[in-house]
Amino acid sequence: MADAPQQICILGGGFGGLYTALRLSNLPWEGTPPTITLVDHRDRFLFLPLLYELVTDELQTWEVAPPYAELLAGTAVQFRQAEVTGIDLDQHRVSLSDGTMLTYDRLVLALGGTTPMHMAPGVAEHAHAFRTLEDAYHLKERLRLLEASNAEKIRVAVVGGGYSGVELACKVAEHLGERGRVRLIESTDTILRTSPEYNREVAQKVLSDLGVWIDLETSVDNVTADTISLTFREQTDILPVDLVLWTVGTKVNSIVADLPLKHNDRQQVVVQPTLEAIDAPGVYALGDVADCRDADGQQVPTTAQVALQQADFVGWNIWAGISDRPQLPFRYRHLGEMLTLGTSRATLTGLGVQLDGELAHVARRLAYLYRMPTFSHQVRVGLNWMTKPLRDLLAAQ
């Protein structure tokens, strides 16, 4: 054990950062435990896979986005709400927007990414991302205004046929019903390219049932306040649209991208299998900001499932490094894939199981309940879900 208490600074309170902090707080420290500081510019953690349910009022904000103060109560983790404005790797210092300067012995980079909104003219001005709590609120209000209008049809274009695009298209199409005209736009020749075939086939059927038009091998050339310009095989069409939702790509946080570390062409930090930066001992990166190959040499995706697993290893390896124990190489275990396809439908593939429909919807909710960050939050949310049918029945009487 080191002679002096160590300072551990974790930047970013998403799946990677928060779960690393909770892991560190539960490890058996010898002597004086380190100071663990978690920094995020928001006051709430966001359980991103359930963000869609906020738009359709299936879940409430406190369930999907509990405050850090609540989640970290009773732990040794200190929370600072501020923007990270600079990182000095040579001096081991982090500058925050409130003027605070934090020093560290171990640094965790988990600042995540943003949706790039400059991939075509007009996207930044007229399209809407879907990654944050504010994005969900904005979409909910935008749909409310469109539904309150006199428009006979509400035309929505969802750009990106990956997980977020497909889930969002299903939620919006079901919510709008007969008034909706939802279009899913994908630049490649298939939606859900990296998904198991079963999930892809189920998703395609549900999209068809909901009347979602799928444009494959189609690029977006321009977005205006009420049109979207699409090109398919050198033919360009300008279509009227009321709402454009942009779900394509992830841009690494600029603070991380500018660090004097080895990056890949997407500006992710290249890490060892221990999740330590290859050219900066004591600096760890995980989640969206990390280019990681695990102990078996497989390139791991930047998903919530991966970040959750990486957090366990980062927490352990920081503890091991401080406690003079060997660090462990990250081993990714793919546990399957779940997609929500409406308010009561989902698809699930993993661990030898394939489910769709209402059963998959229930299984998905239970799986995410288990992965929520603290036991107390799991209990509160679980009880709320169990009693909701009774409360809805009483309210209807």
pLDDT tens, position by position, 174-185: 999 999 999 999
- Identify whether 54 is part of a domain: no
Share of the chain above pLDDT 70, in %: 98
- Identify whether 50 is part of a domain: no
Instruction: Tell me the CATH number at 198.
Output: 3.50.50.60
- Identify whether 59 is part of a domain: no
195 contacts: CB under 8 Å, gap ≥ 6: 163, 203, 337, 339, 349
- Identify whether 104 is part of a domain: yes
- Identify whether 66 is part of a domain: no
Report the pLDDT averaged over residues 247-268: 95
> In this structure, are 136 and 151 located in the same domain?
yes
CA distances from 134 to 51, 65, 121, 138, 395 (A): 10, 11, 23, 6, 29
The residue from 205, 226, 246 where one domain ends is: 246
- Identify whether 21 is part of a domain: yes
> In this structure, are 227 and 280 located in the same domain?
no
148 contacts: CB under 8 Å, gap ≥ 6: none
Q: Which domain holds residue 311?
A: 7-41+82-114+251-322
pLDDT tens, position by position, 119-137: 999 999 999 999 999 999 9
**Do residues 170 and 207 make contact, with C-beta atoms less than 8 angstroms apart?**
yes
Adjacent-strand bridge partners of 84: 96
> In this structure, are 132 and 234 located in the same domain?
yes
> In this structure, are 104 and 153 located in the same domain?
no
Q: Find where tokens 């490890």 sit.
A: 27
Who has greater pLDDT, 89 or 396? 89
> In this structure, are 104 and 130 located in the same domain?
no
The residue from 246, 273, 305 where one domain ends is: 246
> In this structure, are 384 and 270 located in the same domain?
no
Cα 87 from Cα 109, distance rounded (Å):
10
pTM of this structure: 0.92
Task: Report the relative pairing of strands 106-109 and 283-285 from DSSP bridges.
Answer: parallel
